[in-house]
Structure 1
Amino acid sequence: MTSLRELVESARATLPEAPCARWGTLLFSLSVLTFVISLAASEAFLFAAALSTAIHQLRAAAPEARPPSPAANALRFPFPPVRMAVGCFCLLTILSVFGAANSAAGWPAVRKLVLFIVMLLSVGLAGAPGLQELLYTGLFFASTVAGAVGVFQFAAEYRTVKAAHPGEVYTYMSVSRIHGFMGHWMNFGGQQMLVFCLLLAYLLFSPPRGMGRIHGHEPESRPQGEVKLGWLAFGVIALSIALNFTRGVWLGCFVAVVYLVGRRRPRWLLVLPLLIGLAILAGPSLLRERMESLLHPTHDPSIAIRLEMWQVAVRVIRAHPWLGVGSNNIGRDYLLYLARAKSPVVGYHEHFHNNLLQIGAERGLACLAAWLWMMVALLWGLLRLRRPSADRPRDPSPDGLRQGTPQWI
């Protein structure tokens, strides 16, 4: 990629000629680009893209559009190799809702299952390398803007808390966290983590001109100015993640850094413990206190409530191993599975802060197995795509995007 104009022209050349297919591609692109700005807008564009693509598929399968044959009338939606896993997960989720004491509370989770259409659209509409790179570039920019908004939110909140509660800054800042354009800090942190992984992979594995070969092939060339802008954006996103105070997001970013740096510059990993030590010793007091809370879980209510929740989750799974208690029923039944003569830790009890335990308790162990099957199948499929074979040429998309995509798992 040498200029934005060339990137746009490359993406435009990959757009389908059929009107509905073209609109489907454009709407899906808008869904990707609004991902970190507004979930409602992103989902609206996603559903519109699915509708437009479905109309195109129906027209393409019509007898007057194609020669009559059994295969000609079949709808050909590309799908990753996880059909059975996704189908089992959806079916077991629906069954768990029917088996719940309060079925009405679980139907919102069933409606969310339609979001799996993103798998169809991402494979079918964003398969062209030029369009992929344009979408990722736009996503990097949007995430940088969201990160900058989050940093300003932190500065404003810090000044307010410092003036009103000078002795309890950490407590208030860990409760009221930055959220960017999102309505909740967890959504913001998770989104920034995903873009953090992709952008780091793009910067490490798509080096500027003159840096030689990587893993036996010539890397994508990029001008120095673009590299500097990329690292600047990466710094803003990383800072917003640090100020988000979400330790699970920090852990996810750490794993991604170890994986990506280990593949690109393995010797750099020797310096990583030193950098972590310096961050703990020389970092701001708020971040240092946040990291030190992991060493003293009984002193931090957010960790104490997790330990209690995980014990409750295990009891729920033991009592309802097949279909769970139903989606969105955890808060209703939480006290029933709490240890006797014990008052619950004050906090939010609807989610166990652990996806494995949450799925197992809400939807049963079979649904949890289907979810794990889906994750493993997705990762395995991505790893297979990265390896060229005799009947499948090497993926032409930028090397950084190929390395970063598995980090989404």
Structure 2
Amino acid sequence: MVLRLAFGPRGKALEQGGARRVALHGGLRQRRSADDSRQCGTDHWNLQLQATQGRSPRFKCRYDEPRTQLSDLPTDFAYLQYFSQSHAMTNLDWSDLKHALAVADAGSLAGAARQLGVNHTTVLRRLDALEASLGSRLFDRKRSGYEPTEAGRAMLAHARHMADRVDEIERQVLGQDRELTGRLRVTTAFVIMEHLLPAPLADFARAYPGIEVEVTENAFLVDLSRQRPEVVGQSLAQREADVALRLSDQVAEHLVGRNLGLTQCRVYALRDAPELPQSVQPLKDLVRDAPWVAFEKDQQNRIYDRWMRVQMEGANVRVRVDIFNATAAMLRTGIGVGLLPTFMEAKHPELVPVSDPIPELAAPIWILSHPDLRRTARVRAFMQHVGDALARQLGAA
């Protein structure tokens, strides 16, 4: 785009309302004469700046540069930086700004990724896009982490103000819907319902007494779309759920939602059981020597099923079950060792971990809904309220 400084005849600044002004317009403008305008390639601005009274506005332009630097402007326009940054914010992707705020708060890409529930490469891509949009380096990459530059600190101040305004708007909108009545159907795995969901769900019920939450247990993803696969041809069918909470490494692309955080898995045994290991051992030794409570052989849907199929070939399996709660119940009998998420430890002090966390089994918990429902007030309220609470739990685990 072109930055155009509009001048009157013989270089006099245009007057508007009695004040000397310099008008900056986005886009190309036809030059009428050498005295009428000065042009230089730069970003798009659409605002007006008042020049200092009694001084002629001046503008230094480097024609060999793709954009004009703020340092090229005289001191009369020193406050251009504030206005230009403030205006540029409105044309940027808010998601890019959120990622920059997370980097500033965490001090690293990895920390920001954990905070946002995304991959660190996503954070880097968003940060690069923001710096490209603003034409300025926002962070210095140091050994100690990411440190905001002077331009970055200015950007972050505006971004934090925007974040506060967004939060305020969301609170006001959701507050208007607190009296809504109706049913909200939630589906989840029993292990999440028993070990993670009760406290956040109770808090939500107290905050939104007009919303009736109906929770059903289903180990696998149910149909969240308007049409079930088995009723193709009908224009509309009853949804099975409005929101799903899932412990899974695979999520259908058509669903929208949020990664709340990673869960870890370890192998556990009954404490003080004489025939079972009581301390952390190499996984290969456990597979070779210990009796096991394992998942069903035919299951392939979950990361745990696939892992067991590969890693436990030839293992001494005494009992097979289909869910983690059944595994825990069998482990309490002392029949063997078995795989459990680490967030189950608090409710099972009778069990002792006998392996380190298994990296291949680190899996996220997702809160999901259908795109058609994401703007429904009670769905948004649930996903924000319960999602934030679960993310805090998983972050503290």
Structure with more of its chain in helix, by fraction: 1
Give the TM-score normalised by the residue count of structure 2.
0.26
Q: Higher strand fraction: Structure 1 or Structure 2? A: 2
Structure index of larger Rg: 2
Q: Which has the higher contact order (CA 8 A, sep 6+)?
A: 1
